[in-house]
Structures are given as structure tokens and as C-alpha cells.
A and B are shown apart, each in its own frame.
Chain A
Amino acid sequence: MKDHVERPGDAGTPLLSMRGISVAYGALRANDGIDLDVGAGEVQALLGENGAGKTTLMKALVGLAPIEGGSIEFDGKDISDISPLVARNAGIGMVHQHFMLIPTLTVAQNLCIGLRSEGYPFPNYRKITAKISGLSERYALKVDPSARVADLSVGEQQRVEIIKALYRGARLLVLDEPTSVLIPQEIEGLFEIIRNLSAQGTAVIFISHKLNEVMSISRNITILRRGKVAATRRTSETSAKELARLMVGYEMGDLPAAPAISESSPPVARIEGLRFVDSRKVKKLNGVDIEVRAGEIHGIAGVDGNGQVELARILAGILAASSGTIWLDGKDITRLDVARRIRSGLSYIPGDRQRTGLVMDLSVRDNMTLKLSDRPPYAVHGFLDFGKIRAMVEESIRDYNIDCADSGQEARTLSGGNQQKLVLSRELRSDPRLIVAVQPTQGLDISATNYVHSMLLERQRKGCAILLISTELDEVLSLSNRISVMYEGRLMGTFDRDSADRETIGLLMAGKQHA
């Protein structure tokens, strides 16, 4: 690892200087008078909870957000009247959280989209390929120019995005949550690339809400909270603990440790030989066996897209397995429909809460009633009893501390955390035997995440079996009693929490057996 080298730009005028940037979406002030300086060749971290305004600020920088006020200066030039084209020409490139690549085209084809200079209407691919190879070598960014983007791994696609920005002459590279899609080994590779870029004079703005990453890669850290700058720190002069406090506004408590489960606790759910072939004949699940005991949180770790979503949907009854058996409390529920599974004691917290978890256009009340419209006392003789429903809804809003004006408020207008609390209140109300939770804290800020975790742990203490499917390795490691790693529709191994180590799990997530 190279140390940060002092560069002339450090002392004098910075490469980028944003002053008093304000961005509003309707009534929401996403950015409120933010200042940010980045020196040439510096790695500047932008830290903050979800919704703190990090992505908005960067979108403002590349001309994708409506700037209300403030000024931007880059390399001594005023570029306050920013647009995507102005940003590109100035030398600012951004790698978005969701990649902006066309999967059916090759790397070289993707790179020259929108660049008439590379030959128009027929791009000169030889020249492009040569240029890519040059960049590849210079920054140790391995990329095959003739590969189809669809055939590349997520990590490789990210490298293509970085090269795309460099190709367009970026001297400042914005990486928006670049590690959220990577496995641990890929993250180390990305950090190596960032260090290379920095050493050769390219400034990097690194957006993250993960403290350890920010601590290990950045030189300066700007912490955003609720659209404002909470603090700016030198990485060498701060600690993860201080950063967490600045980010959230209070000291975080440690997660309560999950109590150990005894070998004798009875299995609640048993999944045997589950296979699933999708409509395009792709094998998504290749014989999955899992046992979840009473009072156990069984974590499924894995990189997104390795069959976790299919597994959850099959358990919930939304998707039919090609073969295999699902037992719940000794009962075969493989052939039961969703409603009967719910009655058998299954709860499902889907990963896409805005689509499967909630009806965004309906009220808080209606969303809490979703599973009760055939159940007394909430529905009697086919009619809803609004007195009973109102009492239930008010109790849930109170118990789960859901922040809404009243129960008639549309789910759409709630914050992400409150939306998830709404889902939890509905799914936990029925005292389930088995909870299938998929990415239960995705997109939530730290306090909402803690809340969701504490609710799951409370259920676990009460003897509920929980299958926790998450791509956040930290989440799986800190909550689960046992951890299984999923790769290409198979379980690569199952560990007790005490015997699980990050490196082994990381290798299994990448599909490599013990090295």
C-alpha cells in the first residue's frame, strides 16, 4: 500500500471547489448550502447515511440535479452553469451506483457512445482498443475491450465504467457507493485502483456509508447529515467511532449479540433439494438444503443474483419450485398457495419493499390491512370492520414508532425507514413461526437499520425461525447464528457464527472452494 504523497495542489487552490450548493426536490431540501473542496490527486470521501444528500450533491456536480444556488469552480474555471456535457468537457466523470452500460454491446462499443471524435458514424475500434489498453496498463485496470458487457462480472463492469470516465479525460472521478455490489476480494482490487489513480494525479470522490472503507482509502472525509455538511475531517486525525457519531448525530450502541441456540432446538423449517429452472431454462437453484431451527437466525450470504431472490420467492409461495420439498413445523407446505402458507405461520419481508412489500399508492392503513382482508375480526361477513382495523393500525403505528401524519397517509410519502417499519408491523403482527427476510435494511439509514435488526432479534429470542437473506456480509455476520453462503444456486457451505471468518466466506461468495 502506497502512502499518500504530498502534492502541490494540496496547499494551494483546490481542483474542485463547490460553494453553498443547494438542491431541492419539491419541498425536500436534499442539499442545503454545501461546501466541498477536493485537491488534485486526492481521495475525498463523502460519508453519510442514506438520504443525507451524498448522491444528490454528486449529481449536482455532473449536471444531473437541479441546482438552486451555489457555485462550482473546477481547475480555476467557474462552471456553475453545469450540465452533463460541461462536466464531461471539464474533466469530471462519475460512476453511478447503477451502471450506465449497454449489456449487449462490447466494452469498446460502450466506451465510444456519444463520442463523435472516435469516428462518426463508424467508430475506429482499433484506435479505441489501443487507447483502452493504454489506460488499462497505466492504472492496472484489467479490461478486455472486445468482451460483451453482459458477459462481465459486476466488478469488471465497474472497471469498464472507470475506464469510460478516464477515456473521456476525467481528472476527477466520482464513485457512488462503489463497493455495494462487490465481494470483499473485489473491494480490495478497487481500492488498489483508486490508489493508482490518486498516485497519478486523478482526484477521486468516494461515496460510502461504510466507515471502515472510508477510513482505509480516503485522505479527507466530509460528513453529510440531512443535506448539510456535519463536519470535515482528515482521515488520519479521526476515528471510526467519531465518524459514526458525526454521521448519525449520536453515539451508536453496539448490536446486542444473538443468543446461542442449543443443538436441541427443534427445526421449524426444512428445505430439501430445492431446484428451480426459470422460463429461459436457466438453472437458478441447484438443490438447496437448509434447516432453520426455532430461535435461530440463519443468514444466507452471497453476491446479488446467485438465486437468493428465487429462493425467497419460492418459500413465500410466489414462485413454484421445479422440484424439492419445503417443511414448516413438520408440515409439507410445498404445494400450498401464498394465503395458506401465511396461515401456516410464514411471513415474508421482500427485498423490493416498494413493489412487493407495499402498495405505494394506498394508505398506511390499507397497507397494514393487506393480509387481513379475509380474517376476523377485521373482516366479518365480507365487510371490513374499520373500527377494529383502526385500533389495530393505531396500535401498530405506536408500537413500531412509524412516523406518519395519520393512517390515511400514502405509503409513497413515507421515508424508507418508515416504509420498512410498516412492512415489519404487518409481517410480525401474526406471530409468525418462520420469517423470510430479504435485504431487510437495504437503503435504510443507521437508526432504521438498528431498529429493524432489533425487531428481528426480538423475534429470534421469542423462538421464531428467521431466514435472513442479505448481500450485506456485515449484516449477516452480526445477526446470524448460522451462516450459509450461496453461489450460483447452491449452498457453498454452512458455518456456525463463531467459526465463520470473513475471508473464507468471501472466497465462497466468489465461488471458490477453500483455497
Chain B
Amino acid sequence: MREAGAKPARPLGAERKLKISKGLRADFLSSFIAFALALVIGAAIIAAMGKDPLKAYAALLDGAVGNRNSLAETFLRAIPLSLAGIGVAIAFRAGAFNVGAEGQLFIGAMASAWVGLSFPSLPPILLLPLMGLTAMVAGGLWAGIAGALKAWMNASEMINTIMLNYIAVFLVSFLVHGPLQDPSSPLGQTARLPRAAYLPIMLPGTRLHGGLVLAVAAALLASLFLWRSAWGFRIRVVGKNTFAAQASGMRVNGVMVSALVVSGMLAGLAGFCEAAGVQHRMIENISPGYGYTAIVVALLGQTNPIGVFAAAVLFAALQIGASTMESAVGVPSSVITVIQYLVVLLLIGRGAFDLIRGKVMALSRREKG
């Protein structure tokens, strides 16, 4: 009986193997197509404004990677996007939607600035790791609140992380206007960090700091974590099917909370990079929505840490090039925002596309038959 079942299926199986590696590639291909289509639609919008889309995109490219400084700025922008994006991706893998990277980033940045200001005499080799760790712990705890609420009270982490964003932003605003405000300034910001708390510059003459090393390391470690570690395995299983995870003895709630905490830790680290690497203090509006863009970046990178890093660089290039495009060609930089969110719509819309294609194929088959 075994032979009867096994024999005819072997060649079929070989086909299947091909299909699966194709499936993985198809994921990244769909990201690429979504991005390309968004650019095309963006070009149409630019053309509708009476501008030359090619010229605009050329200016965009030039502004993003045209010279040493713009390249440095692009990678500088990619640091918080990729760190927070990898965090969001890990939460996605566990089946949790972390919309709270923004708040976790704020809390992490605030905590690291506080440590920097509290221990100004420590050498950089101690102070920077301490600040980074504090930022991660703070961001992780902040995300852990939403995780705990989900685990014990079955409250949607999507809603709670959004709510916690507001609390975080207003808490930071209170601190930098109140107890931690720079006494010499009326602005909502802390005093300048001591020199020892500055992240070192990687490319002399630019602002590109050591956070890039952290971002690359995070992408590699997160990949290792997800696909090699037992914990990462559990995260992926829980994200795909909580019932099977539970039946095989995994603590579904614990795994999900842990993924949210790790997610928050990475967002907190992104905050540390902004405070210690860019602003050199905590300011009221330290992030122009990196935590939200991180969600898009995570989706575009197909929740694969390496892919997320690539997507972060891409989005950073768009954002950095946008101002050059605005000044050189006169196309408002908000067009780039439109393109960014078109990417999301197109990625989500892929399902609809498959559906339509299926219907068309069925129709054409019927006509033939």
C-alpha cells in the first residue's frame, strides 16, 4: 500500500519544492512591485501638477545618495527606522501588532538622556552601553504594559500600544517642560548631554554615527534569533497558530509578551540613537513619526529583519531626497509621503489582486472549454 501511495507523488513533490523557494522570493517580489507601482503612481501625481516626474525623481535620487553627505544623512535616517522596524517585525512574527514603537522610542530616548545627564563623569565606554541598556529596558517595559494587558485581560495590543503612545509623548513633554527642562532654555528640551554620551561619528564631516553599527547588528542578531533560537522558533509558531502552539506545550501568552518586550526594546534603542547620536539631548519632538513609519518598513521588508533594514534604507532615502526634490524641481515633499503610504495600500491590496487574477483565469478557462 505504501508503494502505491508514494510512487506517483514523487515527481509532484519535486515540483512543490521549486514552488516553495519561489514562494519566498515572491514575497520580496511583491514588495518590489508594490514599491515600483507606488513610484509610478507618484510620477502620475507629479505629472498632474505640471512638473516633470523624471526630473523630480532624478533630484530625489541626487538628494538621497548624490554625495557623501546626503548618503550619510540617508543612513542616519535609516537607523531609527530599521531598529524600530525590526522590533515591529518581531512582534508581527508573534502575531502581535505593535503600533506603539513611537511611544517606546520616546520612552527609551528619555530614559537614556536621563542616564546620560545623571552620570556625566562616566567614561564613554561605560556611559554609552549603560544609556543604551536603559533605553532598551524602558522601551521594553513600556511595550510590556500592552503585552501584559493582552495576556491577562485579553485587551487588544493594537489599541493599547496606540494609547500608550499618547501617554509616552505627553509624559516626555511634561518632563522636558518640567523637572528635566534645560534651565537655560525656554524650549521643551533637556540640557545638552555630556560629551561622553555622544555616539561616535562614523563618517567624519557628516552626522552619521555609530548607531548604524547597532542597526546592522540588530538585523543580523534578530535573524539569528528568529530562525536559530528556540525562543524565536516559539515566536514564529505562536504567530502562525496559537492553538497548535498551546497544544504542544508552549506558553502562548508568555511568548507573545516576550516578543512585544523585545519589540519595545528595539524601539527604545532607536530612541537612544536619536538622543545620543543626533540631538545630543532629549527634545520634545525627537521623532517625526519614526515609530509609525517603522510599521510600513516592517511590512515592506516582509517582517524579515534583513529585508526590514533594506526597506528602512529605501524609505530613509525617499525622505532625505524629498527636500532636495522640493527645492530643485518645486514638487512638494508631501508627494513622498503619498508614495510611502501607497506602498502600504498596494502591499495590502495584493490579496485583492490575486483574487481578481483567479477570477479572470477561471473565466478564460471556461471560454476555452
Contacts and interface: CB of A to CB of B under 8 A. Distances in A.
B233 A338 contact: no
A356 B247 CA distance: 7
Interface string B221-249: 00000001111011011001101111111
B6 interface: yes
Given A339-B251, A359-B237, A403-B6, A384 B20 contact: no
A350 interface: yes
Contact of A250 (B4, B13, B20, B236): B4
A348 B369 CA distance: 47
Contacts of B1: 250, 447, 450-451
Contacts of A366: 233, 236-237
B5 A350 contact: no
A357 B244 contact: yes
Contacts of A213: none
A403 B240 contact: no
A348 B247 contact: yes
Contact of B247 (A250, A357, A360): A357
Interface string B6-28: 10010001111100100000000
A382 interface: yes
Contacts of B14: 405
B355 interface: no
B250 interface: yes
Interface string A258-283: 00000000000000000000000000
A369 B233 contact: yes
**Majority-rule SS of B interface residues:** helix
Contacts of A68: 365-366, 369
B6 A401 contact: yes
A413 B229 CA distance: 26
Interface string A400-412: 0101111011100
A318 interface: yes
Interface string A317-352: 010000000000000000001110110000010101
Given A69-B369, A355-B244, A409 B17 contact: yes
B369 A339 contact: no
Interface of B: 1-2, 4-6, 9, 13-17, 20, 228-231, 233-234, 236-237, 240-241, 243-251, 362, 365-366, 369
22 contacts: A66-B362, A66-B366, A68-B365, A318-B247, A338-B248, A352-B243, A356-B246, A358-B241, A361-B241, A362-B240, A366-B237, A373-B230, A384-B229, A384-B230, A401-B2, A403-B13, A406-B13, A409-B16, A409-B20, A417-B5, A426-B248, A451-B1
Pairs of residues from A and B, 9 with the lowest C-beta to C-beta distance, nearest first: A405-B13, A339-B249, A370-B248, A405-B17, A379-B230, A373-B230, A359-B241, A338-B249, A356-B243
Given A355-B243, A373-B237, 20 more contacts: A67-B366, A68-B366, A68-B369, A250-B4, A316-B247, A339-B250, A341-B249, A356-B243, A356-B246, A359-B240, A359-B244, A360-B240, A366-B236, A370-B248, A370-B250, A373-B234, A401-B5, A404-B13, A426-B248, A447-B1
